[in-house]
Structure 1
Amino acid sequence: MAEATTTVPLADGGMPAHLWLPPSGRGPGLLLLQEIFGVSTYIRDRARDLAALGYVVLAPELYWRLAATVDESRDDVLEQAMALVAQLDWEQTVGDAVAALDTLRARPEVEGGVGVVGFCFGGGVAFNVAAVAEVDALVAYYGSALPQLLGLAGRVRAPSLHHFGTADDYLPPETVEAIRAAVSGPEVELHLHEGAGHAFDNPSPEFVHERARAEAWEQTVDFLARRLPVR
């Protein structure tokens, strides 16, 4: 699936975004929200995976106001990313993501609903978006901001899927159980992946847990097929 560039119009400028169309050229929409590393090679690969399933995928550049990106060729990728994310205004970032959702929904290629998928930092943003905007499905991989967002849980009405690793230093078991208690309901699925740490879906050697990555992706594909089906 070829990648195209587009722009999300905002009151103070245009946010760059990346677009992937499915083989049919049409389908339900998925807003894909980045890790702290930005719209990286990994996020682009996942976007192509989702497009191959039949979805129109839009990944906005949430760092656009910072006039900087993470240079993946350097050794200090994590340090770069932490410095960038620390500069973001959370509410403004959520507002930008909601605008991207609206832009995606308005695209002529989108039919059959719109969902949101987020990884790590993007998982928290996705949860917040689902609390303040209408979405048809939410997938959050180890949403790092979720512990601070649980007051919004009652406002998330979309069918939701959450993934966590049992060896996650950022989201330890007691935190995950607090999240489970806050988000629980008949429309919510939460999976624990044994032995997996934070960012286990990221294929970088320092993060990836291959078994959890494969298992979680299979669960994600199944969830989307049920909750945001491609016609």
Structure 2
Amino acid sequence: MSDLRARAIALYDAFTHDHRDRRAFMAEMVALAGSAAAAEALIAGIAASPAAAQQIAPTDPRLDTAKRSGTEAGKPATAYFAAPKDMKRPLPIVLVIHENRGLNAHIEDVARRVGLAGFRAIAPDFLAPQGGTPTDEDRARVLIGTIDYDLALAQAKSFLTKARGERGGTRTGAVGFCWGGAFVNRLAVADPALTAGVSYYGPAPDPAEAGKVRAALMLQLAEKDARVNATALPWGEALRKAGKDATTHVYPGVDHAFNNDTSAMRYDAAAAKLAWERTTTFLHRELDAKRG
């Protein structure tokens, strides 16, 4: 079963990240699983489930939450906001960057976790210029592939610039997952004002870009995620050689998306818990005492 599971995850990863045809993907899964029903069961265990329970309820009384729309960098923008209720002092700001499925219920849940950890969370929808994240995840992944990356970076920087000016000029961080992990790496290259970033299993820029980074970075990687590690591990090494504050954690025996608790087959509770503890400790270390 472990070999079947590994091969199924590899097929699903190729489908969701390499923009492969769904019909061809299903044919391969049926051939692997032995029947259409078995293939559907495998996919259900690997794919994120919109019906999965959320860790923090949207109505949690400890938080102020809202989804707001407007304009950033001259284009439509939407973001989900979460922060501790009745803040007694300015809190650090953390962008929460979505996966290749866009801003969905899971990422909003992660933003609430960030809020309860003692930050002001902002989770942008980088598909807002294209009408917003659709409910069809296949459609969302197609749209992600058409994003104007320069515009997305400009919108991220605009969100952060506005947030810095709202409550005492606190410094800013970012945490992102999959597509969002890659985005955190690129934001660190593009925005010298970013203080700290955490990239979960995100493909990395050219190592030659490491010298442009001013933020402290933490890379959270899965041992079995060869596709991402092929760029992320050299990126971490290049950052350290360039004298940057960079830490790489590789979690043994886990797959890409190990933090996503809506994906039953890939989620790893122990690795996710340890990675989250490291993430929040790192962000507090970098942001709490560095208010500007």
Q: What range is the shorter-chain TM-score in?
A: 0.7 to 0.9
2:175 aligned residue = 117
Q: TM-score, length-normalised on structure 2?
A: 0.70
As a proportion of its length, which structure holds more helix? 2
The answer to whether 1:56 aligns with 2:120 is: yes
Output the aligned Cα RMSD. Answer: 2.1
Alignment of 1:1-231 (within 5 A): 1-7=63-69, 9-25=71-87, 26-71=90-135, 77=137, 79-108=138-167, 111-133=169-191, 134-144=193-203, 146=204, 148-172=205-229, 174-184=230-240, 185=243, 187-203=245-261, 204-229=263-288
SS at match of 2:95: strand
Q: Which moved more, 1:118-127 or 1:18-27?
A: 18-27
Which 4+ stretches in 1 moved above 6 angstroms?
Answer: none
Question: Tell me, what secondary structure is at the counterpart of 1:6?
Answer: strand
Q: SS of 1:81's equivalent?
A: helix
Please identify which structure carries the higher strand content.
1
Tell whether the 8 Å contact from 2:219 to 2:236 is kept in structure 1 after alignment.
no
How many residue pairs end up in the alignment? 222
Describe the SS at the equivalent of 1:112.
Answer: coil
Q: Which whole-Å CA distance do the structure 2 matches of 1:131 and 1:186 have between them?
A: 12
TM superposition score normalised by structure 1: 0.87
Change in Cα spacing, 1:213 to 1:201, as seen in structure 2 (3 Å) is same
Cα deviations across residues 160-211 of structure 1 (Å, max 9, x unaligned)?
Answer: 1110000014224x44431222222451111000011111111121431222
The answer to which of 119-128 and 179-188 deviates more is 179-188
Contact in 2 for aligned 1:23/1:51 (Cα 8 Å): no
Higher radius of gyration, 1 or 2:
2
Checking the alignment, whether the CA contact within 8 Å between 1:31 and 1:104 is kept in structure 2 is: no
Using the alignment, how far apart are the partners of 2:233 and 2:185 within structure 1? Answer: 17
Task: String of CA shifts for 1:13-39, please: whole Å, max 9, x gaps.
Answer: 341111112234241111111111112
The alpha-carbon deviation at position 11 of structure 1 amounts to 4.5
The structure-2 alpha-carbon separation of the partners of 1:90 and 1:47, relative to structure 1 and needing over 3 Å to count, comes to: same
Query: How far has the Cα of 1:48 moved from its partner?
Result: 0.9
On the 8 A contact 2:164/2:170 being kept in 1, the answer is no
Which residue identity is paired with 1:56? R
Percent sequence identity over aligned pairs:
27
